[in-house]
Amino acid sequence: MTSQTLAEIDRVVLPAAGLDDLFDSLHAEGYPVLGPTVRDGAIVIGPITSSDDLPRGWGDEQDAGVYRLVRRDDDAYFGFAAPAGTWKRHLFPAHSILWRARVVRGAPVIEENEDHPGRRALVGIRGCDLAAVAVQDRVLLHGAHPDPVYSARRADLLLVGVACGTPASTCFCTSMGTGPSVGGGADIAMTELDAEDPARHRFLLEARTDAGRAVVARVSARTATAADDDAADAVVRRAGSRITRTVDNAGLPEALRAGAEHPRWDDVAERCLSCGSCTMVCPTCFCTDVRDEPNVLAGTDDRVRVWASCFELGHSYLHGGSVRPSPSARYRQWATHKFSTWWDQFGTSGCVGCGRCIAWCPVGIDVTEEIRAVAAGPTQEQGVADGRHDDG
């Protein structure tokens, strides 16, 4: 492979039986790998050393309030939708030590935490999650005040995206322009082809950056043909045709702002548990809280940052009370921020259409249904004049 031109390295085909060549190449380039694996009855993100760690032959069933692992009838390595967890956890951890205080020879000492994991490769990240990384980059990396933890973990990161061939019923990435193709942001883009035929099972690899080319150049593979490109395009087309949930983004930000008193917010509040599960699984949410964690036995006091949720009553606590005391006000804030005011702040949507918030909601609330109802305006039977409104 090393004798091939850069153009030939850009697009190659790797047989499924030789997938470990990719992992060997990543390791040779100094990249420990994180990717999808089966653990505790779900497809989650964890350390990967070889193709044996991937969820080969496993798929998932996702719907409103439903997630279950299912056996496939082929040997697809990436035959599932979005993993149960988010890649965000490895870039913006749920628990980070900011600094540690201790007493040394009678004097207080402050030790800043050094979180520099170095080179890492994320293998198997979907287009929706790549879009989420771009959103987090906009806020935490390229903002006026870059976040030091995120910046350190984002550095030296290699992203290997895989086109989604089997979206879940909860997915609506096509509406958000984030999938099912790999889209932007990947160093290497992969498409799994013909998993049902062991003789033809293969991967189309596209190296998009110099770092990606350095990895692909080590892999024993053949140059891609027009037939391989057509097969990859067909995978994406078929996946897109299977996506049934949609969001109409035309005028949506304005409609949500205008619908602040829509009775649907009260309706969803009667079902919402305010548990914050949707924000915890969301790949773009970045709200945090800071607290102290003393360890009397060790003689230390850690200042830590933890994920927070706008569904917590204390999240909007201000001057003796919560600004959003009702569940309807908190759900309205979350949904309106994601699909409306996020545009004002960051110039993009706060949602990438991965559908995790739908699947992992304990009561199966579907955000696409809720915002569609609000955007449609109050019906005659459910007018604002009926007096129902929240106290947020």
Residue 248 amino acid letter: D
- Tell me the per-residue pLDDT of 17-34, one tens digit each, with 9 for 90 and over: 999 999 999 999 999 999
Range with the poorest average pLDDT among 21-25, 103-107, 335-339: 103-107
Q: Give the pLDDT of residue 106.
A: 85
Give yes or no for residue 233 having a pLDDT over 90: yes
CA distance 95 to 84: 19
pLDDT in tens, 380-390: 444 444 444 44
Percent pLDDT > 90 in the chain is 82
Q: Identify which of 235, 138, 115 has the alpha carbon closest to the alpha carbon of residue 185.
A: 138
Which of 231, 123, 129 has its CA nearest to residue 187?
123
User: Which domains are present in the chain?
Assistant: 6-92+117-241 (3.40.640), 252-287+309-386 (no CATH)
Report the C-alpha gap between 304 and 124 in whole angstroms. Answer: 30
- Whether the Cβ atoms of residue 185 and residue 160 lie closer than 8 Å to each other: no
> Tokens 């998993």, residue?
195
CB-based contact 179:122 (threshold 8 Å): no
Residue 257, Cα to own-chain centre: how many angstroms?
Answer: 26
H runs (alpha helix) in the chain: 6-10, 20-28, 127-136, 148-154, 173-176, 210-216, 226-241, 252-258, 264-269, 277-281, 327-336, 342-346, 356-359, 367-375
Kindly report, residue by residue over 240-298, the tens digit of the pLDDT. 999 999 999 999 999 999 999 999 999 999 999 999 999 999 999 999 999 999 998 88
**Mean pLDDT for the chain overall:** 91
Phi and psi at residue 34, to the nearest 5°: -115, 140
Q: Which two tokens stand for residue 383?
A: 């007018």
**Locus of tokens 């749920």:** 94
pLDDT value at residue 381: 43
Length in residues, the chain: 392
Note the pLDDT tens digit of each residue in 115-170: 788 899 999 999 999 999 999 999 999 988 999 999 999 999 999 999 999 999 99
Identify whether the C-beta of residue 76 lies closer than 8 Å to the C-beta of residue 192: yes
Query: What's residue 9's pLDDT?
Result: 65
Burial-class residue 381 by CB neighbours within 10 Å (0-12, 13-18, 19+): exposed
Q: What is the distance between the alpha carbons of residues 171 and 280, in angstroms, rounded to a whole number?
A: 17
pLDDT band at 8 (very low <50, low <70, confident <90, very high): low
Query: Could you report the per-residue pLDDT of 57-87, keeping only the tens digit for each?
Result: 999 999 999 999 999 999 999 999 989 989 9
Numbers of helices and strands, H then E, in the chain: 14, 16
